[in-house]
Structure 1
Amino acid sequence: MFPWIHAAVGYLFLVLVAVLLGRRLTRAELLAVIVGTQLPDFVDKPLAWWFSILPSGRSLAHSLVVAVPLSVVVLAVAWYRSHPGVGLAFGFGYASHLLGDSYVAFYYWRPEEFTFLLWPLLPAYPYDDFVGFTDFFSRLTVTSELLVAFLATVAVGVIFLVQFARAPWYAPR
């Protein structure tokens, strides 16, 4: 999944949960969900593609061995600082990223592709055979699916900006 799609999916799920619970979101929660959706790739992609430290762009930060304890620590710190919603939003964003990277393997039931979720206990699935961001974008082909996803993400981004700038369900703190 592209970074902007991870952000859109995590954001939409958080807003849906907030609306269902009748809860207003804060700016800090909106930012926390976006950070949570981006963190796994922000850590793993450079360490794998640029520095060859990790075996895959889905390994260390994509592993539940790291994701669960990190999310618990963020929640504990947010709770201690009297902002548990921020910690929950971060964990929600992080979880949505991992689900977003797993949905194709779930859909086609290819369990061998889930190994990244338990790296280093299991080997990381070798899904990426390129060496950098420029190589990734040079191999990218524009398809109708890509354009629809991009336009949908732009629409979600506009909604996010409106909400961030005081939409009806926004509660300033």
Structure 2
Amino acid sequence: MWPWGHLAVAYLVYTVYSHRHDARPPRAVPVIALAIGSQFPDLIDKPFAWSFEILPGGRTFAHSVFVAALLLPAAYSLACRVGRPEIGTAFAIGHVSHLLADVPPSAIRSGDVSATTFLFWPVLEPPAYDPVDGILAGFLRYSMGWFEWVQFGLVLVALVVWYRDGTPGLGSIRRGLERAAETAS
């Protein structure tokens, strides 16, 4: 799944959680943590596999449930320590939704779990993927198949829901950019 698809899935899951758990739309800072969590596995694995050739594939280390089992309690504990457990929850929802969204639809339809071995790296070898010569090359070979259209649809739905939720996070990012511009000048 592409970054925008991961973000859309994560936001849709989190907004349902937030409305049910807190009876209100998501708040700004947790949404920013959610966005980071939804991209975190790829921010680690893709560069270290595709650009630096340290990892054996773009879905290995940070896509592993073993890393999640260590990372997510640590992130939640840190969030609790600063008195903001909802930030840890949002990051965890983003991260877990990323891992689940990376399970190929064909594996779900056919019941063939061999495409999910990336979740258990390094105990199991990740599925074989076509080699990618850097992150830019990965984006340049992007093509629109049915799965990409589904992701695009999810992005549109997520944008509508995010707008109806009051665009949480947008004001915080805007204020941060304005402060950075003031500091730079």
Asked if Structure 1 and Structure 2 have the same fold, meaning a TM-score greater than 0.5 normalized by the shorter chain, the answer is: yes
Paired residues of 2:104 and 2:115 also in contact (CA < 8 A): no
Q: Which residue of 2 aligns with 1:106?
A: 108
Cα shift at 1:160: 3.1
Could you say what the CA RMSD is over the residues aligned between the two structures, in angstroms?
2.2
Number of aligned residue pairs: give it: 166
Read off the aligned partner of 1:137 and give its amino acid letter.
F
Q: Which residue of 2 aligns with 1:163?
A: 167
Q: Which residue of 2 aligns with 1:35?
A: 36
Q: Which residue of 1 aligns with 2:70?
A: 69
Distance 1:100 1:32 in 2: 18
Deviation string for 1:125-156 (max 9, x for gaps)?
A: 22242222232233222346635633541452
Sort the Cα spacing of 1:40 and 1:144 in 2 relative to 1 into closer, same or farther, 3 A.
closer
Please list, as runs of the form range in 1=range in 2, the aligned pairs for 1:48-67 lying within 5 A after superposition: 48-67=49-68
Q: Which residue of 1 aligns with 2:138?
A: 136
After TM superposition, where is structure 1 displaced by more than 4 Å over at least 4 residues in a row?
A: none
Q: Which residue of 2 aligns with 1:18?
A: 18
Paired residues of 1:57 and 1:128 also in contact (CA < 8 A): no
Paired residues of 1:78 and 1:84 also in contact (CA < 8 A): yes
Deviation string for 1:84-130 (max 9, x for gaps)?
A: 11101111110000000015223322211121111111112222422
Q: Which residue of 2 aligns with 1:118?
A: 120
Identity %: 34
Q: Which residue of 1 aligns with 2:6?
A: 6
Using the size of structure 2 for normalisation, the TM-score is: 0.80
Sort the Cα spacing of 1:99 and 1:144 in 2 relative to 1 into closer, same or farther, 3 A.
closer
Using the size of structure 1 for normalisation, the TM-score is: 0.85
Cα shift at 1:9: 0.3
Moved more, 101-110 or 65-74: 101-110
